[in-house]
Chain A
Amino acid sequence: MIRLIVGRLLFMVPAALLIITFLFALFHLIPGDPAVMLAGDNAPRSVVDGIREAYGFDQPLHIQYGRYMAKVLQGDLGISNYTRDPVVNSVIPRIINTAQLAFLSMLFAMVVSLLLGCVSAMYWNRPLDKIVTIVSLLGICTPVFVTGLLAIYFFSIYLDWLPISGMSSWRHFILPVITLGAFQAAVLTRMVRSCMVDALGKDYITTARAKGAPELLVVFKHALRNALLPIVTLFGLGLGHTLGGSVVTETIFNWPGLGRLMVNSILTRDLPITQGSIFFFAMIFILVNLIVDLVYAWVDPRIRYD
């Protein structure tokens, strides 16, 4: 187990190097001269040349690459073109906001989908199952911005129960969490249902019934643990998507998260911020995958990698 964790952490090193390389390439691949971009379109030639020299844009590419790599490895992702703050300082608080939103949404999705999915499987092909199926299909088909706007209209404007935007109290969390979580809940419910229907048809379920196990024990101990593996996979993917794909939700609810920071930095061509956001998104993704792998080993004794 420890070997697995250490191995996976070591794997993060080449992955990080590849990401940094990609970020460096991104800087030089997007159209336009970076020095002109920084100085502004109408800046005099002498200012542009000064910036080019100060930032080292006049050096050959491999030297620039080496310098960039060295800086990033020391934790220096550059300085925002606009606020002149170090990128790390603007990105870290945003990550925390996004992570709160993402984890709460996934928690919501997990609880809802496990309950609905299991109930659906227990009443397989009966009216209750059909209702759950229809509702989850609706959830999958509805884009996040529709859910979000409908939720705002209904709960904030029509009923006036919940705030529309911002994140200053726990009540501000409810609508964004449900909006972001509803889609994942719908996707996961489908998965839980089909995995549970599958697991409940297995012979060891009959074994459990032959032991005289009550139905709840059969469903939640014997079947659910076996059905969990594909669910954990999808859950990990969902967490990644939620972390990265919260851009729309963050925009709708004016949520100060990483997604909105990245979108804004693209619009304002604040390249260091874009690079920083991408870098952290990638690192989070790798970490989430590591956690999913560890959960795998916990769920399925056949995958304990020792």
Chain B
Amino acid sequence: MSTEELLLDVRALRKYFPVRKGLLQRTVAQVKAVDGVDLAVRTGETLGLVGESGCGKTTTGRAILRLTEPTSGEILYRGRDSTGDPDQAMTDVVTATPEQMKLLRRDMQIIFQDPYSSLNPRMTVAEIVAEPLQIQGLMTRSEREARAVELLGAVGLSPDHARRYPHEFSGGQRQRIGIARALALRPKLVVADEPVSALDVSIQAQVINLLQDLQEQFGLTYLFIAHDLSVVKHISNRVAVMYLGKIVELAGTRELFGNPKHPYTEALMSAVPVADPDFKVERILLEGDVPSPVNPPSGCHFHPRCRYAKDICKVEVPAYRAVGQDHFASCHRADELSLYGLKSS
């Protein structure tokens, strides 16, 4: 893989939230929400990012857009030069100046999880969708309105919806508004932060299909954050699995689901329901909760809940390494274990 294909290259990204206590608000501990994430996103692909609640998926997505300031790390993004071709050198989002950041926002957008709270209730749909253009100082007022109507059409809403307020729409429609807003600036990269998990199952499929259609139409690259594996399997080219602030496994979708190399991935797979009554699979129950990110376990973060854990797992942090063709995992025993994937259906 040549590096020119990369649109986004995240290196050793960390985000620690301080825990403050006492009268003087001294920092007594750090919540290590994102603890050294390496992630490369290729132009035009959909990279799924999965993991259970609280593992740092959302924080990673937001830190990439600098909606929360990263504690450390590099977020290299390939912008466009004056002719519109991909830039040779990548820009570091973390150290970008406010002016650079404003330009980067044209290229990097986000779709939020909750369509009920992410739309300003005091603004009409047209205002919500057109505001990014206004902030960026692009187009005249009437052009912006035309673009808003056009975008509403692209996400399957009708032009007469433009004058209404968010509360007049259903959850699925509101998510479509959120998508239209994210696309207003014609971005390259869209971070989709659990875009369907707040929606009814029947609506989920519609929105997923819409996202795929838009990807084709606008040439988008998605970082698709989710906890629903069947959704991720459907939409992603590659999938990254996150546990307690770290990426534990990354591979092409088929490879990851068919041949997982990390015990945590296997446990996730075993939780996916399969629509076949004769299919019996051993359900791997992870004991206990996710350990506290304030004080993560020693060695491999997963060892207290891992059924394959050995002594070395308690002491030594496993390296994140290649375990196959375009397949990375961080497990001491990745090569010796044979783990069950998802039955392909």
List A residues at the B interface (Cβ < 8 Å): 125, 202-204, 206-214, 217, 222, 225-226, 299-302
Contact = CB atoms under 8 A, between A and B. Distances in A.
A300 B166 CA distance: 12
Contacts of B106: 212
Given A212-B105, A212-B132, A212-B136, A207 B112 contact: yes
B131 A204 contact: no
> Which residue among A211, A213, A302 has the maximum number of chain B CB atoms within 10 Å of its CB?
A211
Contact of B121 (A212, A213, A302): A302
> Which residue among A125, A203, A207, A299 has the maximum number of chain B CB atoms within 10 Å of its CB?
A207
Nearest to A206: B67
A203 B102 contact: no
Contacts of B141: none
B275 interface: no
Contact of A211 (B62, B122, B135): B135
B122 A209 contact: no
Nearest to A210: B110
Given A210-B110, A211-B135, A217-B135, A202 B165 contact: no
B67 A299 contact: no
A301 B135 contact: no
A212 B25 CA distance: 31
Interface string B83-105: 00000000000000000011001
B120 A222 contact: yes
B102 A212 contact: yes
B14 interface: no
> Which residue among A209, A217, A226 has the maximum number of chain B CB atoms within 10 Å of its CB?
A209
Interface residues of B, number: 27
Contact of B122 (A203, A213, A299): A299
A222 B128 CA distance: 11
A299 to B, nearest CB: 7
A223 B278 CA distance: 54
Interface of B: 25, 62, 65, 67, 101-102, 105-106, 109-110, 112, 114, 117-122, 131-132, 135-136, 165, 167, 178, 181-182
B118 A203 contact: yes
A299 B165 CA distance: 13
> Which residue among B102, B114, B122, B135 has the maximum number of chain A CB atoms within 10 Å of its CB?
B122
9 contacts: A203-B117, A204-B120, A206-B118, A208-B120, A210-B110, A211-B132, A212-B106, A213-B131, A225-B120
B122 A206 contact: no
B112 to A, nearest CB: 6
B117 A210 contact: no
Contact of A206 (B62, B101, B135, B182): B62
Given A204-B117, A211-B132, A125 B25 contact: yes
Contacts of A125: 25
B122 A301 contact: yes
B112 A226 contact: no
Contacts of B67: 206, 209-210
Contacts of B132: 211-212
B302 to A, nearest CB: 30
Nearest to B68: A206
Given A207-B112, A210-B110, A226 B118 contact: no
A302 B132 CA distance: 24
> Which residue among A125, A204, A209 has the maximum number of chain B CB atoms within 10 Å of its CB?
A204
Contacts of B182: 210
A125 B131 CA distance: 30
B305 to A, nearest CB: 31
A207 B62 CA distance: 11
Contacts of B65: 210
A250 B182 CA distance: 56
Q: Give the 10 A-B CB pairs with smallest separation, nearest first.
A: A212-B105, A203-B117, A203-B118, A211-B132, A204-B120, A301-B165, A225-B122, A212-B102, A210-B110, A207-B118
Contacts of A301: 121-122, 165, 167
A212 B103 CA distance: 9
A213 B135 contact: yes
A209 B122 CA distance: 16
Nearest to A222: B120
A226 B167 contact: no
Given A206-B67, A213-B131, A217-B135, A300 B122 contact: yes
Given A206-B112, A302-B121, 19 more contacts: A203-B112, A203-B114, A206-B118, A207-B112, A207-B119, A210-B65, A210-B105, A210-B109, A210-B182, A212-B102, A212-B105, A212-B106, A213-B131, A222-B120, A226-B120, A300-B122, A301-B165, A301-B167, A302-B165
A208 B134 CA distance: 12
Contacts of B167: 301-302
Contacts of B181: 207, 211
A226 to B, nearest CB: 6
Nearest to B119: A204
A300 B122 CA distance: 6
A226 B109 contact: no
Contacts of A204: 117-121
A207 B122 contact: no
> Which residue among B62, B65, B120 has the maximum number of chain A CB atoms within 10 Å of its CB?
B120
